[in-house]
Amino acid sequence: MRQYELVERVTNYDPDADEDMLNRAYIYAMKAHGTQTRASGEAYFNHPLEVAAILADMKLDTATIVAALLHDTVEDTEATHQEIVEKFGEEIASLVDGLTKIAKLDMVTKEATQAENLRKLLLAMSKDVRVLLVKLADRLHNMRTLNHVKPEKRARVAQETMDIYAPLAGRMGMQLIRDEMEDIAFKILNPDANKVIADRLARLHEESGDMLREIEVALTKELASHGINASVKGREKRAYSIWRKMERKHLALDQLSDIFAFRVLVESVDDCYLALGMVHQTWRAVPDKFKDYISNPKQNDYRSLHTIVIGPHSMRVEMQIRTKLMHEIAERGVAAHALYKDVGEAKMAQLGVRVPAAESNAYRWLRHLMEVLQEGDSPKEFLEHTRLELFHDQVFCFTPKGQLIALPRGATPIDFAYALHTSIGDSCVGVKINGRHAPLVTQLKNGDEVVIVRSDAQVPPPAWEAIAITGKAKAAIRRATRAAIRKQFAGLGREIIEALLKKQKHELVDKELTAAVPRLGHKNVDDALAAVGRGELSGLDVLKAMGLAVDEKEIRASRRKLTTKKGATDGRLSLPVRGAAANVALKIHAATGAVPGERIVGISTPGEGITIYPIFAQALEQFDQQPERWVDLAWGVAEEGMRFPARIKVILINEVGALGQVTQLIGEHGGNIDELQMQARHGVRDFFELTILLEVFDNRHLNDIMNGLKSRPLVSEVDRVAG
C-alpha cells in the first residue's frame, strides 16, 4: 500500500484526520526500518504498514494509525522514545512505549516471563485500550505471514495466539479478529482435523446447492411482509467453531446438524423481537435453543437474539437477530465503540446499546483483571487466573434484588459470592438457591436466584479452591488461606521466641525484634515470626540478631538429651495442633508422618476423629471431591522433648558399611529410628531402597538429618515419602 493510499483510506471515514502526521509517520517508519527484511524476504516496513491498514479498516483515529506505523521503531531500530515524543507528541509516544514493553511474549518456553509480560499488556491497555488494538492487529498480520517462519516457531506462535490473543480479542468483543486468528492457528496446530472438517463443509455446500440463497430470499420477503426492513445473510460455520463444538459436546462430525447459520440485521431493538416472533411462526423452533443476549448481554458487550429452527428441507439452522449497531459491536467490539463516542446515551439506547463505551462490559472485565493484578498474585497465578477468565461460556444468575451476575458455566455459589465482593466470598458459609438451601458445590443454572449466607467468623477453607472455577474466587481463596496460615505461623513463631527468651531470662521487646528484622533478611516482624513458625528460620538466629549472647551448642546438646516423648499417632496423647475441636481425636497419617513446621490439613472421619496429613501427601487426592471433610489445621507449640513421625526414603549404594553410615548419622543428629525396611531395587542390583520412619522434633530437625544423609558418599537419594 502506497503512502497516499493509506492517507486516503483514513480520510474517507475521518475527514478531520491529521494528514500531515500520517505522512510524517509513514516516512519516518520507512526510513527507520531501512533495509530490514522479514522471514519472507520482503521489506520489514511492509509489516507496520499492513498493521496500520488493518486498523484503518476498523476506522480508528489518527493517533492509533500513527502508533501502528511506529510500533516497532523503538524495539527494532535506532529510534528512541524521546525522539518519538519530539516528532509526534506524548500521546503517540505513550502508545508506542506501551507496545514496546510487551513486544515479546514467549508462553511455551518461558511461562513466568510470558505471564509478567501479559501483566504489562493489560496494564498498558487499561491506561489506553488503543495499545491492545494495535497489538492485536500486529499479531493478526504476523499470523497471516506465519508460513514463512520455521515450523517449531510457527507452532509456538500459533499456540500462544490460540491461548492468549484470540480469546483476548473475543473478550474485548473483536470477533472478526478472533475468528481469523483461530482459523489460522487451527490449520497449523491441527491440520488433519482442519482438512477433514473443510472437506465435509465443501461436500455439504455442493449438496445444499442454492439452499442458503433460497432461505435468505424467503426470510427477507417474509420479514418485509410484516413491515420489517431487514438484511439476511447465510453462512457456513467456521472449521474451528465446528471442532470446538465437537470437543465440548463429544459429538462426531456427522452428528452436527446446525452447521448453517443466518444473520438477520434490523433497524431497532423492537424489530429484533418482531423478527424473532415471525421466524418462530414460520418455522418450528427447536426447544431450549433460544438465547436472549439483548436482555442479558455477554461480558464482551455482545447483544443478539439466538434461536435454532427447523428450516426448509428439514434442516436445522441457527438464526442470529440483531440491530446494525449490535452487529458493529459484535464484529469489532471496543474498536466499534470509538465510532459512537460522540453519540448521546438516548441515541445509544435507541440503537440497542444501553451503556456508554467507557462503562461497557468489556471495560468492566478489564478493570476486574486489574483488581486481581493489583492484589499481589504471583505472575504464574495471574496467568492462570487470566486464562480462566478468557475461556468460558456463561450462565446468568440473580441476587434477590434482581442484580444480574454473569458467571462461567459450571460456576458454584462460591464463585457467585466472590463475584459480588471479596468480603462476601470470604464470609460465605451457605447458600439458598431459588429459596432452598443447597450445597456450596452446586453448579448454578441460568435464571437461579442466589442468596449467600454469611458469618463474620468464617475463613474460606483451602479446599474451596478446587470448587471455585473463576480466577477471582481462586485468587481470593489463596490470599485468604495464605493470610490465615501466615497469621498462625507468626503467632507460633512469637511463642517460640518468647519461650527461648524466657530461658535466657529476657522478655520479648518489640523494638528489639523490629531492629533485628533487617539482619534476618525479612521485610517486617510478622514475616520473620512466620518464618520461625514454619521452621524456615531458627529462633536461635533471631536471638543472635537481637544482640543476645546465646550458647547454641549447649542449647542443641541439651535438646538431644531430653527425654523422648512421641507425638502420638493414635489420638491418645494431645497433639499440639490448632484448628480442631478440643474433644476430637487426632492422629497422624502413618504412611507419611507429619512434623511441626510443615503445612498440614486434616481429614475428618465420622466416629474416628481427624487424620493429620502434610499438604504434599498423595493420599489427599482421594478427598478432592469431599471438601466438607477438609479441616484447616496448623501446628501449635509442642511440649519439650516431644517427637513426631516422618517417613523418608533413602536410595543407598550396595557397599559394605553403607547402612552403618545412615544409622550413625541419624543418631549423631539426635534422630530416632522407629521402623526401617530395606529392599533391593527391582532390576538394579547395585542399589538398595530404605524406608525409614524417623522420630524428630520438627521440620528443621528433619531437614538437618536429610541434608546430612545427602552429604554421605554412599547415599544416592533422600526424599520424603509422599504416601
Q: Strands (DSSP E) along 125-182, which ranges?
A: none
Do 302 and 330 form a contact (C-beta atoms < 8 A)?
Answer: yes
User: For residue 269, what is its C-alpha cell?
Assistant: 431493538
Do 167 and 390 form a contact (C-beta atoms < 8 A)?
Answer: yes
Q: Which helix (H) or strand (E) holds 24?
A: helix 19-33
pLDDT score, position 105 = 41
User: What is the pLDDT confidence band of residue 348, given thresholds at 50, 70 and 90?
Assistant: very low
- Closest Cα to residue 678, out of 669, 687, 670? 687
Mean pLDDT (the chain) is 79
Answer positive or negative: Cα dihedral of 187, 192, 193, 199: positive
- Closest Cα to residue 173, out of 404, 361, 322? 361
Question: Above 80 in pLDDT, residue 364?
Answer: no
Q: How far is CA 719 from CA 541, 600, 664, 690, in A?
A: 26, 18, 18, 11
Task: Give the CATH number of domain 3-188.
Answer: 1.10.3210.10
Phi, psi (5° rounding) for residue 582?
-65, -30
CATH class of the structural domain 193-351: alpha beta
The residues of the chain that CATH labels 1.10.3210.10 are 3-188
Asked which of 37-41, 549-553, 587-591 is least confident by mean pLDDT, the reply is 549-553
User: What is the pLDDT confidence band of residue 616, given thresholds at 50, 70 and 90?
Assistant: confident
Question: Above 80 in pLDDT, residue 410?
Answer: yes
Q: Strands (DSSP E) along 178-323, which ranges?
A: 231-236, 260-266, 284-285, 291-292, 305-310, 316-323
User: What is the pLDDT confidence band of residue 606, given thresholds at 50, 70 and 90?
Assistant: confident
Listed ranges 73-82, 258-267, 469-478; the one with the highest mean pLDDT? 73-82
Marked catalytic residue, from 19, 57, 61, 76: 76
pLDDT score, position 337 = 53
CA distance 471 to 414: 12
Marked catalytic residue, from 75, 371, 608, 624: 75
Fold of 363-479: Ubiquitin-like (UB roll) (3.10.20)
Mean pLDDT of 20-39: 92
Task: Give the CATH number of domain 642-720.
Answer: 3.30.70.260
Mean pLDDT of 535-556: 70
Q: How many Cβ atoms are within 10 Å of 599's Cβ, its own excluded?
A: 19
- Closest Cα to residue 487, out of 584, 374, 611, 579? 579
Question: Above 50 in pLDDT, residue 187?
Answer: yes
pLDDT score, position 49 = 94
pLDDT in tens, 467-506: 888 878 888 888 887 777 777 778 777 887 887 787 777 7
pLDDT score, position 360 = 57
Among this protein's residues, is 97 annotated catalytic?
no
Q: How far is CA 30 from CA 21, 92, 100, 650, 704, in A?
A: 14, 17, 18, 65, 64
Listed ranges 208-212, 627-631, 687-691; the one with the highest mean pLDDT? 687-691
Question: Above 50 in pLDDT, residue 576?
Answer: yes
Question: Above 70 in pLDDT, residue 111?
Answer: no
pLDDT score, position 413 = 94
Question: Above 80 in pLDDT, residue 650?
Answer: yes
User: What is the pLDDT confidence band of residue 213, given thresholds at 50, 70 and 90?
Assistant: confident
User: What is the pLDDT confidence band of residue 13, given thresholds at 50, 70 and 90?
Assistant: confident
Phi, psi (5° rounding) for residue 689?
-115, 120
- Cell match 536429610: residue? 706
User: What is the pLDDT confidence band of residue 667, given thresholds at 50, 70 and 90?
Assistant: confident
Mean pLDDT of 287-313: 84
Among this protein's residues, is 75 annotated catalytic?
yes
User: For residue 86, what is its C-alpha cell?
Assistant: 519530539
Q: How many Cβ atoms are within 10 Å of 132's Cβ, its own excluded?
A: 25
The residues of the chain that CATH labels 3.10.20.30 are 363-479
User: For residue 535, what is its C-alpha cell?
Assistant: 521452621
**What are the residues facing 279 on neighbouring strands?**
none
